Amino acid sequence: MDMSGTSDVIIVGSGPAGSHCAKKLAQAGLDVKVFDRRNEVGAPKRCGEGLDKKAEQLIGRIPDRCIAQKIRGARVYAPNGKHLEAPGEGYVLERKVFDKWLATEAAKAGADIRAGTLVRELIVDGGVVKGIRGEIDGDPFEARTKLVIAATGAESPLPKQAGIDTTVSLKLIDTCYQYEMVGVKSDPNFIHVYMGNALAPRGYGWIFCKGNTTANVGIGVIPHETNPKVYLDRFVATHPDVKDASIIEVNAGGVPVGGMLQNMVSDGFIVCGEAAHHVNPIHGGGIKEALISGQIAAEVAADCLKKNDISRKALEPYNDGWWKERGGHVRKVEKAREVIEKMTDDDFNLLVDVLRPNDVIELTQGKPEAFLRVIAKNPQLLKFAQYLM
């Protein structure tokens, strides 16, 4: 990669948001550089690896080698063990293969990618972002550009340097621990989701099957005195489908579950993906949100670069565009999460008893009508109406 000269765009982060954004920009004929701090794009994963089939509308058909398991629905388990089956087509991916495929697509379109490159800070001149400073194996370098797009995930200092506070509130993060295990007996055609306040306070436990008796088994919880590893070890020790399985990978991390940024742009700068808190607040899925977020960023960026105006004002259509196309929906899901959070284990047991499969889907889409319809048929659920006020 030639660091001299001025690129059109530098994208920091070659995850789903960064790579997909890079591909779109390169296809628009722009000169794009992408940096990723990891030595290997996509690894290690910090993800349950689940993805809605609808994501293929954005990225095209996902190659088989990226897919660990095809899924035809979700089984949601109440604390009493009864479950509800919600249909839905999707995949559990092999992120290290999937992320490299997305990066390859970006490179084939003309983006120039360099892994193993830590971007430490933005070059800001007169309030305008004009480049980045980074390190390759400890050797510093600089790269100049018209526009920087941060697709860094939630843990980067870069957006703050551009005046955008991406701090995740402690109330709006789930802290998670996961084992990839072999010898899991759960039905591989489904993802299995476990609800319960003792099992996973404000979060859930998951078994996302990857085929060949392999599965991602994890728990996400609201941060408090007990860490999620404790909850996961308890879950694994007591669940017949996983208690005898082997652990082949250990993952941990935080995921934003709300608090999407109102403003995501600055002079010469855009933040997108998980860094902008673009994640489903109920199930924590961020891949599809990242792809959408990266695509909208690419569309606005391409437009602005054509007009040679990358001022904050010119980039503001990214804020409007994301909130109009996606933000309204994500906000509804956040509100639905606030309702679910207040539920007791008895409430969950009751819901799994009375909800129909399609109600669960509507719930994760943030449609409170699902509740209202069920309450109309089951007056004992009337107390939930208060949660919706």
* Residue of 81, 125, 140, 170 that binds other proteins (CB under 8 A): 170
**Under the criterion CB under 8 A, does residue 156 sit at the interface with other proteins?**
yes
CA distance 364 to 256: 16
Alpha helices in the chain (DSSP H): 16-27, 56-59, 95-109, 158-161, 228-238, 287-306, 312-315, 317-322, 328-341, 345-354, 357-364, 369-377, 383-388
Ranges within 344-383 binding other proteins (CB under 8 A)? none
Name the nearest CA neighbour of 99 among 69, 134, 62.
62
* Residue of 6, 57, 167, 238 that binds other proteins (CB under 8 A): 167
As a whole number of angstroms, the longest Cα–Cα distance in the chain is 69
Amino acid found at 297: A
Contact 250, 232 (CB under 8 A): no
**Under the criterion CB under 8 A, does residue 118 sit at the interface with other proteins?**
yes
What is the nearest approach in angstroms of other proteins to the Cβ of residue 162? 13
What is the nearest approach in angstroms of other proteins to the Cβ of residue 84? 28
What is the nearest approach in angstroms of other proteins to the Cβ of residue 115? 14
Pairing of strands 32-35, 6-12: parallel
CA distance 122 to 207: 40
* Residue of 224, 243, 324, 356 that binds other proteins (CB under 8 A): 224
- Residue 166 or residue 214: which is nearer to other proteins going by CB? 166
What is the nearest approach in angstroms of other proteins to the Cβ of residue 181? 17
Name the nearest CA neighbour of 177 among 246, 236, 228.
228
**Under the criterion CB under 8 A, does residue 175 sit at the interface with other proteins?**
yes
- Residue 228 or residue 294: which is nearer to other proteins going by CB? 228
* Residue of 252, 302, 343, 354 that binds other proteins (CB under 8 A): 252
What is the nearest approach in angstroms of other proteins to the Cβ of residue 233? 12
**Under the criterion CB under 8 A, does residue 173 sit at the interface with other proteins?**
yes
- Residue 224 or residue 313: which is nearer to other proteins going by CB? 224
- Backbone φ and ψ for 157, nearest 5 degrees, come out as -80, -10
Which residues form the interface with other proteins (CB under 8 A)? Answer: 46, 118, 135, 138, 153-157, 160, 166-170, 173, 175-177, 223-224, 227-229, 250-254, 256
